[in-house]
Structure 1
Amino acid sequence: MDLLLSALRAVDPAAVEQEYQVVRSQSLQLKKDHGLTTEVGSLKDNAKKNRYKDILPYDQTRVVLSLQTSGSDSDYINASFVQGASGDCRYIASQAPLSSTLTDFWRMIWQHKIKVIVMACREIEMGKRKCECYWAAPHQSAAFGPFTVTTQVESRPNQDVVVRTLVVCYQQDVHSLVQFQYLSWPDHDVPYETTGILDLLDRARSSQGAESSPILVHCSAGCGRTGVICALDYIHDLVVTKKITEDFSVLDLVLELRRQRPSAVQTKDQYGFIFTAAASMLERFLQTPDDQLYSNLPEVKKREKKTSAAASSSVNSSSAMNDTYAVVNKAKQPHRTTSEPAYSSVVIPRSNPGSR
């Protein structure tokens, strides 16, 4: 692990930029080599459900909605299954819901029994709507189609994070989950430091525990910031399960993510942030006694056993995700009161961000 840490620290900006150009060029070849298509997302009836017309889920890894709550429900949502380090469907990478897809968003949460949501954006950023509010104000309820969502608790453990405990009711059943909203990540840019996002991921993993359901990760488009979060959690699990090697390759990991979710890790700076945050993560591991470092290994193993039996039923076909496992070893809307404004962007990016 020491050699890998040294290698991550030694990467210079020029090398990061060069590698990221390789990611971009090889991503196009990936689509051809694996026959990746976006036919369903391109259909006329589904086009209006896409936040960005150039970010469509691959047909081979898209989340298929089977829960029907009305006669007009379709099976489409702009979200993709993404495998974790153990080969399970560890994540759902999703775009933020639109006003027209709020019910679909909750259909997905209900269908896959989501226990943890990691939200890496604000509702409004740089004056633009990035996410429709899919939860209620604290201690209030809101209806989203047939789903009633109550925010039982909302807390701010630090200036970067909002934690909400949500309870959703559908018909006569009740399901609870926790949402972690990270506030300090400018769109198309990166956080100023790594501590905040690493702490958030620790909290999310603690809430997930041994649950076999996917962690739902979203930003605005569900690719840039979302891809970084999936990459960092993937690296964490490689370390905890002792599968990390000295020749681990961020490039290969990002390409693997992009094979499952288009444009995962969307910018050069986001790509470089993975190196920086992964180095910080390894530093934490090296400073942690082994008995604490591997204390959650039984939970990881338990999750692996649960998902091995359920993975085929979680995807849109029994074989859709069978070939995506790779341990990489290479270089109605809620109404807010006036005292509960939407979290809008006060984060000043280091460079001019894009529109997402």
Structure 2
Amino acid sequence: MKLAFWTVTRGAGNIAREYKEQLQGHLKGYDIDVFTLKKYDVENTIQIEDFTANINEKFSWYDGHIFIMASGIVIRKTAGLIGTKDKDPAVLLIDEGKHFVISLLSGHLGGANELTYLLAGTLNLIPVITTSSDVTGKIAVDTISQKLNAELEDLKSAKDVTSLIVNGQKVNVLLPENVKVNGKNSADGFILVSNKKNIEYTRIYPKNLILGIGCKKDTKAEDILSAIEDCLNKNNLDIKSVKKIATVDVKKNEKGLIDAAKSLNLDLEIISREEIKKIQNQFEGSDFVEKNIGVRAVSEPVALLASSQEGHFIEMKAKYNGITISIYEEELKIYE
């Protein structure tokens, strides 16, 4: 996670530098920058001339922003940068007296509430959380989505169903069979039995599909996109649940594949042939493919190797005029 501390006074700058040292001593996987005003010359920080210009430029660069300053300044400086709750980074506020850490923006999907509790425990601060579902001990729909590492269908329905939860009304959660929680429900559909005239509902798309793709040299992006669309439709799967695309290392510079992944806003994971060779005998191979690139199969082994390897194949190998696509479905887990 990439975090930024922002300060506009000498005292706050020194506090931010101190907090960065404490956090890096206790937490792993956090990349932390501290911004201070150049006129205060706070050592071991990023010294800037213009606070407003820098926050405008870098607001989307970080997963979370921690401001050590008055709340009024933070609100005024970030108001024009705020987009939607599913895209905005976490915004936290710490008072210069080192008493409180406040979750100000993107409490659930942006992770501000969770980060607030983390900082409070590490830096000996009092956490301040104001989201209704959290303070009443109830769970919001966007929190469920986050725990599943999934994507909300839309924000409005999530908000409407969360309102039911907060107001103490009963809400059922229908999950696929391979989710490790109580209850068994089919992922392909459900029957709703109720005497209610109006029922609020929302949908979450789990990010648990890996697309393994092999293709001939100079295959066009539009052909790859068309093949992906057809393969997903054939298996009644939604592109919103695709986590990433995987391919073999000899295709790492294949323009059509790169452009297709970029068009879908998906990561393209490159799997080495050495890794493929270790498992390729699990799959039906091709002498032609082996002669050309040194391994007997591509789409199936790269899909498996790019996954958690806890799940199963939905599509082993679909063929589309020089393109092969395999779909691996990871088992869903609740992330704490």
**Above 0.5 in TM-score?**
no
Which has the larger strand fraction? Answer: 2
Which of these two proteins has the greater Rg computed from alpha carbons? 2
> Could you say which TM-score interval applies, normalised by the shorter chain?
under 0.3
TM-score by length of structure 2 reads 0.25
Tell me the TM-score normalised to structure 1 length. Answer: 0.24
Higher RCO (Cα < 8 Å, 6 or more apart): 1
